[in-house]
């Protein structure tokens, strides 16, 4: 290792004693200035030349105030006092951190030394950070107002009895710290409930959602727990804060908890039991105060039985279970939802409120709604956009998506019409038969007419009569 070093090179420290201090001063990255007791500059290292763009030859043996009227050094000598880490801006847009102290030799004051560090980048970044932080504060405030309007319990629509029970239960437990499991099919409002519970809880931290089914298994741990700097290759140098820490004093919403990988489950259990977690690659235990709300559209107890989900975790999560019924089990709420969504989207897209034809409402009431409220909401938005483009103000059958007409379940006894009106019953039965045949023949009219045993022209007539033309 020392092959290339000659003995003379090592001796240099003993022999060239006089040049050495200067050599050392020049190799330091901070600007160093030494003045004598009269404030005449005696040392000016390379970093000082670079930082202030003043050559050593120019400044040596000159009074420091000629170059720096505000220099700290005269004061240091006068007061015989050291200063540490003072911020200074010698020129516009240029910032330094200065430390300076008096120099003594054999107890006698002989001058002063200052050490200046360029802090321009640091100060600029700090200024940016302060600006970003204040912008963030403004945005956070606005978002909290928007969230209050959008996610409170008052925004959850529904008059169906069992649905109202779910709302009541959610409201009652929202102020406690109890863990909540929300079950229900996709689109039934699980996230909406979780957000409303968080808002009503009054917890001042964030609502932090994480969808366990949308994140690859290998990444779930780092998303949840974060990692310390340099924890693994590909990790950010600065480390990363995980969702659990982010939810401190707030609510962690674990969506699709049924998809939580089995090896992660004990780690989640630990957080739930004592609020403790560690970042990946770190030994330090972090204490958090979080409320956990979970949601699933799977049958967790069945998963526990089959060994896909830990029993202990399941019991921790389901202290309170809120079940949200699918839309087809609360059809009485469909008109209310439709009318509200039409109002909301008309406002959003800037058009007059649309009327909805009774037949269309009837089809909506009877639709299967496998995507639940999300599906209903999407369809209404699509219809409002179409209506805006077509300049129409009434939603008739022509607005319904094709597959929608084919899929609908026709109720031969519609509520608004007289249940015992035979003409209505026959009419509806005819309509249902035509829809089924059209669907089964892939909309092939001549084939459909044959199956129905009517002339093709009659089929055309009836399609028109029932508003079933494409
Ligand atoms: N009862 C309700 N009243 C108003 N909007 C609702 C209701 N339930 C759900 N929504 C809306 O339907 C969409 C889907 O709800 P979401 O909570 O994401 O469902 P999930 O999490 O169960 O899949 C969201 O836009 C939500 O605002
Ligand atoms: Mg969801």
Measured in Å, residue 156 CA sits from the centre of ligand 1 at 8
Q: Ligand 1 pocket test: which of 171, 182, 192 has the largest number of ligand atoms within 8 Å of its C-beta?
A: 192
414 closest CA partner among 433, 431, 395, 435: 431
Average pLDDT on 328-353 reads: 93
Measured in Å, residue 445 CA sits from the centre of ligand 1 at 39
pTM confidence score: 0.66
| Residues in a beta bridge with 99 | 115
Alpha carbons 26 and 48: distance in angstroms, whole number: 9
Is residue 190 within 8 Å of 295, Cβ to Cβ? yes
**Per-residue confidence (pLDDT) for residue 180, from 0 to 100:** 95
Q: Is 186 in the pocket of ligand 1 (CB under 6 A)?
A: yes
Percent over 70 (pLDDT), the chain: 91
> For the chain, which domains are there?
7-118 (3.30.450.20), 152-325 (3.40.50.300), 328-409 (1.10.8.60), 419-470 (1.10.10.60)
**Per-residue confidence (pLDDT) for residue 118, from 0 to 100:** 86
157 closest CA partner among 131, 196, 106, 114: 196
**Per-residue confidence (pLDDT) for residue 143, from 0 to 100:** 86
Measured in Å, residue 189 CA sits from the centre of ligand 1 at 3
Q: Is 377 in the pocket of ligand 1 (CB under 6 A)?
A: yes
Q: Ligand 1 pocket test: which of 187, 196, 207, 325 has the largest number of ligand atoms within 8 Å of its C-beta?
A: 187
pLDDT in tens, 238-270: 788 999 999 999 999 999 999 999 999 999 999
Residue 409 has pLDDT above 50, yes or no: no
Average pLDDT on 401-410 reads: 61
Residue 47 has pLDDT above 60, yes or no: yes
Is residue 230 within 8 Å of 281, Cβ to Cβ? yes
Ligand positioned closest to the Cα atom of 154: 1
- Tokens 């039934």 locate to 188
pLDDT in tens, 134-149: 899 899 888 888 877 7
């Amino acid at each position: 290792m020392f092959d290339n070093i000659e003995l003379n090179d090592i001796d240099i420290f003993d022999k060239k004693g006089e040049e050495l201090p200067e050599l050392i001063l020049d190799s330091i990255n901070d600007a160093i200035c030494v003045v004598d007791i009269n404030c005449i500059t005696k040392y000016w290292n390379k970093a000082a030349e670079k930082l202030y763009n003043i050559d050593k030859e120019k400044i040596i043996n000159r009074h420091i105030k000629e170059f720096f009227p505000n220099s700290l050094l005269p004061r240091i000598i006068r007061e015989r006092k050291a200063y540490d880490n003072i911020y200074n801006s010698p020129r516009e847009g240029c910032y330094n951190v200065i430390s300076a102290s008096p120099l003594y030799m054999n107890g006698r004051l002989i001058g002063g030394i200052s050490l200046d560090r360029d802090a321009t980048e640091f100060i600029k970044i700090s200024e940016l950070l302060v600006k970003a932080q204040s912008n963030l504060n403004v945005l956070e405030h606005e978002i909290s107002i928007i969230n209050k309007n959008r996610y409170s319990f008052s925004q959850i629509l529904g008059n169906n009895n069992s649905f109202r029970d779910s709302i009541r239960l959610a409201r009652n437990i929202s102020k406690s710290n109890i863990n909540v499991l929300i079950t229900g099919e996709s689109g039934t409002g699980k996230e909406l409930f979780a957000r409303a519970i968080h808002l009503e809880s009054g917890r001042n931290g964030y609502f932090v959602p994480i969808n366990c089914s949308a994140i690859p298994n290998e990444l779930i741990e780092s998303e949840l727990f974060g990692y310390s700097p340099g924890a693994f290759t590909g990790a950010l140098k600065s480390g990363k804060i995980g969702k659990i820490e982010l939810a401190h004093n707030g609510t962690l919403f674990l969506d699709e908890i049924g998809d939580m990988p089995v090896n992660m489950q004990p780690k989640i259990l630990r957080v739930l039991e004592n609020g403790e977690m560690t970042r990946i690659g770190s030994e330090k235990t972090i204490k958090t105060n979080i409320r956990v709300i979970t949601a699933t559209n799977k049958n967790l107890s069945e998963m526990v039985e089959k060994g896909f989900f830990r029993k202990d975790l399941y019991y921790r999560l389901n202290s309170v279970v809120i079940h949200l019924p699918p839309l087809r089990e609360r059809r009485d709420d469909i008109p209310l939802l439709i009318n509200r969504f039409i109002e909301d989207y008309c406002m959003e897209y800037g058009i007059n409120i649309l009327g909805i034809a009774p037949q269309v409402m009837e089809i909506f009431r009877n639709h299967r709604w496998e995507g639940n409220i999300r599906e209903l909401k999407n369809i209404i938005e699509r219809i409002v956009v179409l209506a805006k483009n077509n300049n129409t103000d009434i939603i008739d059958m022509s607005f319904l998506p094709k597959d929608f007409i084919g899929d609908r379940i026709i109720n031969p006894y519609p509520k608004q019409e007289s249940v015992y009106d035979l003409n209505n019953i026959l009419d509806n039965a005819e309509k249902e038969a035509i829809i089924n045949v059209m669907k089964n023949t892939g909309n092939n009219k001549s084939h459909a007419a044959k199956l129905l045993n009517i002339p093709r022209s009659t089929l055309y007539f009836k399609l028109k009569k029932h508003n079933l033309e494409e």
